[in-house]
């Protein structure tokens, strides 16, 4: 079955009768039982009937099943945010005394989690360039977990995940990757040997900038470890209404990603001849094995003569804002994050170029976006 068909049909078994094509929202905090025996069986773990939405909910389960199928995993568990998913994975699996190898240019809040919680708790964490995970077969010797992104945040560096997985497996290392940029349509890390996949479902999975959510996909054994700790105890459970919105988002994931990719291809082709742009970072299907598409998130480095604040303020179809993956186009100059006060952040530590600008290309008309972008470039010189 093709991915477009999978995305549109997967939720059908969850829909109620009477011809409904969408699953219902089970907007309830608890579920009751018809008799003592059924209640006792559930409390004893002898049945898997819904009990309490913090632990399980049919609408959330529908979304989890769809994500597991799209990623090619055995099971999935959803959370109230992307950071909820990242935190659940790292806090459940990385114990004091363990060693974690983390990719440089990691998502800033994942970096803060590592620095503020994992390391103070006794987890040893070292950071490496993403390519080192593939190039050095012995890099992971003595480590317990490898935490990856490909492409990486802001810098959009990619790596051959099959080689990384082979190196990790030879050393007995568990691999985790944030796959939010590629989505299951452009990259399926589990098929390449990675153990666990994380998504900030707030991004392309939702696609409408109206939902904050996260999801983890892996084997049933690994997902059970996350469920046992994170849902009943930490309580970062995805709510039913957000799950319903995410099911809606998955139904249009394929055509949306095609539009994002087409616009990104147009930008990459035309940026190649611009004197105002010194570098384009936009991995595509020829960048690395296992990556078979391009998303709408790319970064550019502007020449010294371009006034970045004027460029950003001149844009009409691009808004200034964090996040990405929605219908709207966004721009984020790296200089803003580099200038943050307080503790040294990931962008400062790992050397994000100060003239780098990240673009999230939305679903507006591609030619109108380009005209707006080109006018802003020319007006900022």
- pLDDT tens profile 14-55: 555 567 778 889 999 999 999 999 999 999 989 889 988 888
Rounded to 5 degrees, φ, ψ at 333 are -70, 130
Q: Tell me the two tokens of residue 32.
A: 């009751």
Whole-angstrom Cα distance, residue 166 to residue 272?
A: 35
- Specify the 3-state DSSP secondary structure of 90: helix
Taking alpha carbons only, the member of 87, 92, 90, 60 closest to residue 75 is 60
Does residue 335 carry a pLDDT above 90? no
Q: Are 229 and 112 in contact (CB under 8 A)?
A: no
Alpha helices in 272-365 (DSSP H): 308-314, 334-338, 346-349
Q: Are 216 and 226 in contact (CB under 8 A)?
A: yes
Domain boundaries, the chain: 3-251, 253-379
Does residue 73 carry a pLDDT above 80? yes
- Location of structure tokens 């790292």: 90
Angle between helices 58-71 and 240-251 (to 10 degrees): 40
Angle at 116 between CA 115 and CA 120, to 5 degrees: 90
Q: What is the mean pLDDT of residues 206-230?
A: 93
Which CATH code is given to the segment(s) 253-379?
Answer: 3.90.1150.10
Q: How confident is the model at residue 315 (pLDDT cuts 50, 70, 90)?
A: very high
Taking alpha carbons only, the member of 72, 76, 113, 118 closest to residue 99 is 118
pLDDT of 54 reads 86
Query: Computed over its alpha carbons, how large is the radius of gyration of the chain?
Result: 21
Q: How confident is the model at residue 341 (pLDDT cuts 50, 70, 90)?
A: low
Whole-angstrom Cα distance, residue 145 to residue 122?
A: 14
pLDDT of 286 reads 84
- Location of structure tokens 């490496």: 128
Whole-angstrom Cα distance, residue 54 to residue 59?
A: 12
Residue predicted with more confidence, 12 or 308 = 308
Taking alpha carbons only, the member of 64, 114, 107 closest to residue 91 is 114
Does residue 11 carry a pLDDT above 80? no
Which CATH code is given to the segment(s) 3-251?
Answer: 3.40.640.10
Does residue 61 carry a pLDDT above 90? yes
What are residue 333's DSSP bridge partners? Answer: 357
Q: What is the mean pLDDT of residues 218-232?
A: 87
Does residue 108 carry a pLDDT above 80? yes
pLDDT of 53 reads 84
Does residue 255 carry a pLDDT above 70? yes
Spatial CB neighbours of 145, under 8 Å, sequence gap ≥ 6: 90, 93, 94, 98, 99, 100, 101, 173, 174, 175, 176
Pick from 5-9, 18-22, 183-187: least confident: 5-9
Mean residue pLDDT of the chain comes to 92
Q: Are 156 and 138 in contact (CB under 8 A)?
A: no
pLDDT of 357 reads 97
Q: What is the mean pLDDT of residues 96-105?
A: 97
Pick from 6-20, 83-97, 120-134, 367-381: least confident: 6-20
Q: Tell me the two tokens of residue 284.
A: 């595509």
Q: What is the mean pLDDT of residues 330-352?
A: 79
Rounded to 5 degrees, φ, ψ at 33 are -125, 150
pLDDT of 94 reads 96
pLDDT of 231 reads 66
- Specify the 3-state DSSP secondary structure of 170: helix
- pLDDT tens profile 148-168: 999 999 999 999 999 999 999
Give how far Cα 351 sits from Cα of 158, 192, 286, 345, Å.
17, 29, 26, 10
Pairing verdict, β 277-281 and 297-302: antiparallel
- Location of structure tokens 């099971």: 75
Kindly tell me the burial class for residue 24, based on how many C-beta atoms sit within 10 Å of its own C-beta (0-12, 13-18, 19 or more): middle
Whole-angstrom Cα distance, residue 340 to residue 279?
A: 24
pLDDT of 239 reads 94
Q: What is the mean pLDDT of residues 222-231?
A: 85
Q: Tell me the two tokens of residue 371.
A: 């005209």
Q: What is the mean pLDDT of residues 263-268?
A: 98
């Amino acid at each position: 079955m093709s991915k477009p068909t999978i995305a549109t049909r997967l939720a059908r078994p969850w829909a109620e009768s009477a011809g409904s094509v969408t699953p219902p929202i089970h907007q309830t905090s608890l579920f009751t039982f018809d008799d003592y025996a059924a209640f006792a069986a559930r409390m004893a773990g002898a049945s898997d009937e819904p009990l309490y939405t913090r632990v399980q909910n049919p609408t959330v389960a529908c979304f989890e099943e769809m994500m597991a199928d799209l990623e090619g995993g055995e099971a999935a568990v959803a959370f109230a945010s992307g950071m909820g998913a990242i935190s659940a994975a790292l806090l459940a699996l990385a114990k004091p005394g363990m060693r974690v190898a983390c990719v440089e240019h990691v998502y800033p809040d994942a970096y803060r989690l590592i620095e503020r919680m994992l390391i103070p708790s006794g987890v040893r964490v070292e950071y490496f360039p993403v390519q080192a995970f593939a190039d050095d077969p012995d890099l992971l010797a003595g480590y317990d977990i490898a935490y990856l992104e490909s492409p990486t945040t802001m810098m959009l560096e990619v790596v051959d995940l099959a080689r990384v997985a082979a190196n990790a497996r030879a050393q007995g290392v568990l691999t985790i990757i944030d796959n939010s940029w590629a989505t299951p349509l452009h990259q399926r890390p589990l098929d390449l040997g990675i153990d666990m996949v994380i998504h900030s479902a707030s991004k392309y999975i939702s696609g409408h900038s109206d939902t904050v959510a996260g999801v983890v996909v892996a084997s049933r054994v690994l997902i059970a470890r996350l469920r046992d700790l994170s849902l009943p105890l930490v309580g970062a459970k995805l709510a039913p209404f957000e799950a319903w919105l995410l099911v809606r988002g998955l139904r249009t994931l394929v055509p949306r990603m095609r539009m994002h990719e087409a616009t990104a291809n147009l930008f990459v082709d035309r940026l190649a001849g611009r004197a105002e742009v010194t570098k384009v970072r936009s991995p595509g299907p020829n960048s690395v094995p296992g990556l078979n598409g391009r998303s709408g998130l790319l970064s550019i480095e502007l020449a010294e003569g371009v006034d970045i604040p004027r460029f950003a303020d001149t844009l009409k179809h691009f808004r200034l804002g964090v996040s990405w993956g929605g219908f709207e186009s966004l721009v984020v100059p790296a200089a803003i994050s580099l200038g943050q006060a307080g503790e040294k952040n990931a962008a400062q530590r790992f050397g994000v170029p100060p003239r780098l600008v990240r673009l999230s290309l939305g679903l507006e008309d591609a030619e109108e976006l380009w005209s707006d972008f080109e006018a802003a470039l020319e007006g900022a010189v």
